Amino acid sequence: MEAFSFYNPTKILFGKKQIAGLGIQMHRDGIKHCILIAGGGSIRNNGAYQQVIESLDQAGIQHIEAWGVQANPRLDKTRQIIQQAKESGTEAVLAVGGGSVIDTAKAVAAGVYLKDIWNAFIRKETIKEALPLYTVLTISATGSEMNGNAVITNMETRQKWGISSTHIYPRLSIIDPSLQSTLTFRQTANGAMDAIAHILEFYFANEEALTTLAINEALLRTIVDMTDRLQKDAYDYTARANLALSATLALNGLSGMGLAGGDWGCHGIEHACSALHPEIAHGEGLGVIVPTWIEYLGEKYPSRFLRWAKAMWHEDSISSAICRFRDKLQSWGLASSLRDLGIKEGELNTLLDLIMQNPSLGGVFKLNKEEVRLLLMLAF
């Protein structure tokens, strides 16, 4: 098993009505003013916004608001909120929303201390401090509520890149799964696929991390089963809660213990897809890329992929397991090809160039340009 380090200081409050604890914790941390960052307004419909405001008010914490973060969150919006945070002299950042809102909030928390936040993404500036960050999660998918990563898209350069720092772990994240009952099944399934992809980016990296592989199989099976249940009943709280918990654990460090940092080839490819077409949901994009990636690499490294075929799908061959995986994603209504996602054949070269801007595609299974081209053809 590979050596590894693990550190995750984020506190989690999990369950119904846990938002009530938000103001209490911020007050305990000495926060008197924060900037609340949100998306398009769904948090007014699912009840999160009202509960947050009530909790802040009761604790005597003042706030300003920054709305309008979109899916595949953008650099220009992030810069604008950083400016707002700086001008207000706020003491903390509060994200109320999904992964896009939380990632933006992380970039804001770090960005108030940098010349320009994009410098951190292109490794020109280092994150040395950040405002304390609090989050209230409203869709389980990215795992951003319990890690130190953020991904932002620079629309000028079409780069969807990431930062990673111990300074941007949320201090506290509140996960009330009941807030997610009003999501469409498509949103739920995209989130589930994102979590599945996070686990699979790690899963094939090392055959000897038996504890972590067994945990990852437990998470993968739970995610699939709970998503099936939610397709039948969006208000199934047990399914909602277990999907939420699994998605958080899929990318909080646990799923990668002893797995060499993971591969992240699928994310590299998908990020280029949704940088080119920001209307592509990250999870749905991964639903096309991940099975194709397994198909491509399964032939080269059969033993690593066979364990997955057996443990997840009770299949003795990788190809049968991939069929079962694709059938499952299709039964959830996800796209099954790049074409389905709205990518045109004439864009494949641009896509390939965007993907290969990333100098090290695949931390475990290195892919060169010709291999990625083949993979894109398979996925098209």
Residues that bind a copy of itself (CB under 8 A): 1-18, 208-212, 214-215, 217-219, 221-222, 225-226, 237-238, 241-242, 245-246, 249, 254, 257-258
Q: How many CA atoms lie within 13 A of 234 on its CB side?
A: 11
Nearest approach, Cβ of 170 to a copy of itself (angstroms)? 12
Nearest approach, Cβ of 237 to a copy of itself (angstroms)? 8
> Closer CB to a copy of itself, residue 225 or residue 347?
225
Q: How far apart are CA 250 and CA 260, in angstroms?
A: 15
Distance of CA 89 to the CA centre of its chain: 29
Q: How far apart are CA 148 and CA 151, in angstroms?
A: 11
Q: How far apart are CA 300 and CA 295, in angstroms?
A: 9
Distance of CA 13 to the CA centre of its chain: 19
> Closer CB to a copy of itself, residue 145 or residue 315?
145
Q: How far apart are CA 349 and CA 353, in angstroms?
A: 6
> Closer CB to a copy of itself, residue 18 or residue 104?
18
Pick from 21, 46, 26: which is nearest to 36 by CA? 26
> Closer CB to a copy of itself, residue 241 or residue 379?
241
> Closer CB to a copy of itself, residue 221 or residue 344?
221
Nearest approach, Cβ of 218 to a copy of itself (angstroms)? 4
Nearest approach, Cβ of 179 to a copy of itself (angstroms)? 14
Backbone φ, ψ for residue 315 (5° rounding): -115, 145
Distance of CA 260 to the CA centre of its chain: 19
Nearest approach, Cβ of 379 to a copy of itself (angstroms)? 30
Q: Classify residue 157 by burial, with Cβ atoms within 10 Å: 0-12, 13-18, 19+.
A: middle
> Closer CB to a copy of itself, residue 122 or residue 218?
218
Tokens coding 306: 């066979």
> Closer CB to a copy of itself, residue 205 or residue 375?
205
Q: How far apart are CA 324 and CA 186, in angstroms?
A: 19
Q: How far apart are CA 144 and CA 171, in angstroms?
A: 12
Q: How far apart are CA 63 and CA 76, in angstroms?
A: 22
Collect all residues with Cβ–Cβ distance below 8 Å to 16 and sequence separation of at least 6: 176, 177, 178, 237
Tell me which DSSP letter residue 96 carries. Answer: E
> Closer CB to a copy of itself, residue 31 or residue 247?
247
Nearest approach, Cβ of 20 to a copy of itself (angstroms)? 11
Tell me the three state secondary structure of residue 46. Answer: coil
> Closer CB to a copy of itself, residue 62 or residue 238?
238
Nearest approach, Cβ of 211 to a copy of itself (angstroms)? 5
Nearest approach, Cβ of 303 to a copy of itself (angstroms)? 15
Nearest approach, Cβ of 86 to a copy of itself (angstroms)? 29
